[in-house]
Structure 1
Amino acid sequence: MLKFIAKRLGSAIGVLFAASLLLYILVINSGDPLKDLRESNADNREYLMAQRIEYMELDQPWYLRYWDWLTGVSKCFVGQCDLGRNINGVEVSGLLANAAASTLRLVLIATVIAAILGIAIGVLTAVRQYSGLDYIVTFLTFLFFSLPVFWAAVLLKEYLAIGFNDWIASPDISLGTSILIGIVLGLIMQMFLAGSLKRRALTFVAVAIFVPLVLQYSLWLNFYRFPQMGPAIVVVLTLLVALSATSMTAGLKEKRVLYPALITVVLVLAAYYATFYLMSEPNTWILLGGLILAVAIPALVGRLMGGRLRKNAASVAMVTGFVGAALTVIDHIFRAWPGFLDNKGRPISTIGSSTANFEGGYWDHFLDNGTQLLLPTILLAIISLASYSRYTRSSMLEVQQQDYIRTARSKGLSERTVIFRHAFRNAMIPIATIAAFDFAGLIGGAVITERVFGWKGMGEMFATGLDHVDANPVMAFFLVTGTAAIIFNLLADIVYAMLDPRIRV
């Protein structure tokens, strides 16, 4: 394994070197970085030109400038990166740190959301091949994939930002609209759940009646301005996750898996009360530490109580603990929402990654950053959704034709066991490659997204560098995206061996 990683890293460094050299030459020959000053009538024009020449080292041959940049990059291995200065004399390393934090936060969240939803949709459509659901999902995923980014961004701004901000000031859903929403959701749910005609009809009727009642009841509670959940809802939802995860992996009859999951639900309730005041005004490290404990402790319980099924028990307990911790965080976010609305007024902004001079506690800033992330994250996620769903569907259909799947079915195993314990794991091997390329690709795609939403991220730094024929910011962008592509492809190769022991690196 170590020999394989060393060889891959060696070849990756060679690829990065050749690509960086080509990009550097293309950028510096794409225009004149002094053009705006040559056309200026300022009295100190000559001084400004001399200053820019000094900042950008334009008095040096291109190969010496490239060598200086390469030397500065090599210092990153000892934690002293020197990526030069931009056209205004500002250190690019500082600009990159802020831009990368903004962009990677956006891209990472969009990738996770797209992967989870895309894989789930792909598995479902593969199981329900050539059904009405399959055709509708296929149409929608390719529709999202084909949307022009700038046009979709304008639609999101209009309806999910401006329209929502107007609506949240005085929330109202008419009875007719509630009934229409219930009918639409009923049609969707009966397609997802499938089954006999009678079952589908009952599903449709139940959803079509239940949803309008819930919507009208939520308006009566003024839930949209004063949301509330509480420990009872947290426990009930966590319990449902525990039962669902147990049913999907081992079945509810397997007590070695079920009991650790139920114990985790009790631990979530105990942690809710024990950390209530601490979570009222936490910090990022407290949340991160709590998340680690919420996964580690249930995993330990599952391994100790699971016996021969300890891996399944640990996995189910970890999922239950993670969901319970997430619901606890959501409960505190709900409690902070009314104050956030009063403080900010219009919660979803259409420009920028944060609100300037925004005052408030930890949860207020958390909500501010979250609402700023909402629109660009949705945009990047729906674009990537098609790739994940279609590749997952294709991979699942191919795997289901294998002999070992037919053997599993002939042995009398349940369809749930065949799908999730035999087919799903092997179907994930091609998806590891897609995820690796998608992450790096989204960073490049974020250039347009960040421009539309006014984010000061890597996309903005890259575009500004190209506009001003400023090589150092462009090369900094390449350094991050190129390195991300190499690392994620290496991780994909390692994941192959984890998913399928027959694969050896």
Structure 2
Amino acid sequence: MLAYIIRRVLISIPVLIGSTILVFIMVKLSGDPLEGIKLRNPPPPPATIKLEEHRLGLDQSWPLQYWDWLKGLVLHGNFGQAVQPTENIGADIGSHLWVTVRLVFFSVLIALILAIITGVVSAIRQYSVTDYTATFFGFLFLSMPVFWFAVLLKEAGIWFNRSTGTKTFFTIGDKSPYLPSDTAWAHISDVAGHMVLPTIVLGLAGYAGWTRFTRASMLEVLNSDHVRLARAKGLRSRKVLIRHALRNALIPLTTVTALDIAALLGGAILTEQVFQWNGMGTLFVKALQQKDAHMMMGWLLVSATIVIVFNLIADILYGILDPRIRHA
């Protein structure tokens, strides 16, 4: 297992480097990051522009710019110079990443719990009212774009707050700028309150596809020979369902969940924009607007690493869910 993990990590390194090269070229082709400075009226002195170009490495060739960025990242953990001289790319990614990670984590957790429960119940009670109801809501949330659902839910929260004269749902920001008390519980409850609506949006977006996948996988396993044999041996229905059916049905769901993490990160960008969260989505949009190649490459490097790690975790879980699977 250890050799397999090391091999997967080594294979992931060229993937990460290749993705950063592609993003670097795309950002470079998008325009000049110093365009805003050059278009000022009155224009800045040429010496000022020369200093900014030297600070950002724009006075060098593209291969040399990329090599300097990669060397600084590997040797010193430096993500490079930001277009705005007052910003630190590493610190910005760290602070924004925590905001997005907690949103995606709880969204995935809620989506998996709902998908497994409804998928299993739908498979057991196939073609029943419960199955049709779960199917309807699954297709409903699957057909709704994430940004559209986020806007609807935000407007619903605003309408409810106005109708009741309360502040039940937080619709702006990932936390309140000012709190009546500075206790730990006040901060935790405030952050949790701001997470309710965005978590529902991302959670239901993931749940929609996963519940259909769980249902199909459970139906296939329930009709397999080893489940019929377990029932013929007189095992209890709950034991057959959990140990023999559900455990095997979770293997393909693990693959789909790991692969959909990338889609959820993309959905988090849109959701954060709707609810005005200061997460990785905001950082992504800011890097695009500023044509900041170093910030975009840092953003992609972190996002791609998360996707690779989740896929590695999925491969490891295969051996736990099914002992017959061995990683050579």
Q: State the TM-score, normalizing by the size of structure 1.
A: 0.62
1:491 CA displacement: 1.1
Select the structure of larger CA radius of gyration: 1
Q: Quick check: 2:33–2:292 contact (8 Å CA) kept in 1?
A: yes
Distance in 2 separating the partners of 1:110 and 1:450? 13
Whether 1:124 and 2:94 are equivalent positions in the alignment is no
Q: Secondary structure at the match of 1:353?
A: coil
Match of 2:193 in 1: 371
Whether 1:417 and 2:239 are equivalent positions in the alignment is yes
Q: How does 1:186-205 map to 2 (within 5 A)?
A: none
Match of 2:258 in 1: 436
Match of 2:179 in 1: 358
Distance 1:492 1:466, change over 3 A: same
Q: Secondary structure at the match of 1:503?
A: coil
Match of 2:299 in 1: 477
Whether 1:162 and 2:158 are equivalent positions in the alignment is yes
1:110 CA displacement: 0.6
Q: Secondary structure at the match of 1:113?
A: helix
Letter aligned with residue 162 of structure 1: I
Letter aligned with residue 467 of structure 1: Q
1:415 CA displacement: 2.3
1:165 CA displacement: 2.2
Whether 1:100 and 2:97 are equivalent positions in the alignment is yes
Q: How does 1:335-346 map to 2 (within 5 A)?
A: 346=167
Q: Quick check: 1:395–1:430 contact (8 Å CA) kept in 2?
A: yes
The Cα offsets for residues 437-470 of structure 1, whole Å up to 9 and x where unpaired, read as 2223212221111111111111111111112211
1:43 CA displacement: 4.7
Match of 1:110 in 2: 107
1:36 CA displacement: 2.3
Letter aligned with residue 107 of structure 1: V
Highest relative contact order (Cα 8 Å, sep 6+), 1 or 2? 2
Q: Quick check: 2:100–2:280 contact (8 Å CA) kept in 1?
A: yes
Q: Quick check: 1:347–1:368 contact (8 Å CA) kept in 2?
A: no
Could you tell which deviates more after superposition, 25-34 or 493-502?
Answer: 25-34
Q: Quick check: 2:73–2:80 contact (8 Å CA) kept in 1?
A: no
Alignment length (residue pairs): 325
Q: Secondary structure at the match of 1:367?
A: helix
Equivalent in 309, 312, 315 of residue 487 of structure 1: 309
1:27 CA displacement: 1.4
Match of 2:80 in 1: 84
Letter aligned with residue 309 of structure 2: I
Whether 1:408 and 2:230 are equivalent positions in the alignment is yes
Match of 1:280 in 2: none
Distance in 2 separating the partners of 1:389 and 1:399? 15
Distance 1:136 1:45, change over 3 A: farther
Distance 1:424 1:155, change over 3 A: same
1:347 CA displacement: 4.3
Distance in 2 separating the partners of 1:445 and 1:74? 30
Structure 2: state its 5+ residue gaps.
Answer: none
Q: Quick check: 1:111–1:438 contact (8 Å CA) kept in 2?
A: no
Match of 2:40 in 1: 40
Distance in 1 separating the partners of 2:4 and 2:264? 27
Structure 1: state its 5+ residue gaps.
Answer: 170-344
Q: Secondary structure at the match of 1:29?
A: helix
Q: CA RMSD in A?
A: 1.7
Q: How does 1:188-267 map to 2 (within 5 A)?
A: none
Distance 1:417 1:482, change over 3 A: same
Letter aligned with residue 151 of structure 2: V
Letter aligned with residue 101 of structure 1: W
Distance in 2 separating the partners of 1:82 and 1:430? 38
Q: Secondary structure at the match of 1:348?
A: coil
Q: Quick check: 1:444–1:481 contact (8 Å CA) kept in 2?
A: no
1:56 CA displacement: 2.2
Q: How does 1:143-154 map to 2 (within 5 A)?
A: 143-154=140-151
Distance in 2 separating the partners of 1:461 and 1:52? 22
Q: State the TM-score, normalizing by the size of structure 2.
A: 0.93
Whether 1:49 and 2:45 are equivalent positions in the alignment is no
Whether 1:397 and 2:219 are equivalent positions in the alignment is yes
Letter aligned with residue 358 of structure 1: L
What fraction of aligned residue pairs are identical, expressed as a percent?
Answer: 43
Distance in 1 separating the partners of 2:261 and 2:135? 22
Distance 1:131 1:45, change over 3 A: farther
Q: Secondary structure at the match of 2:30?
A: coil
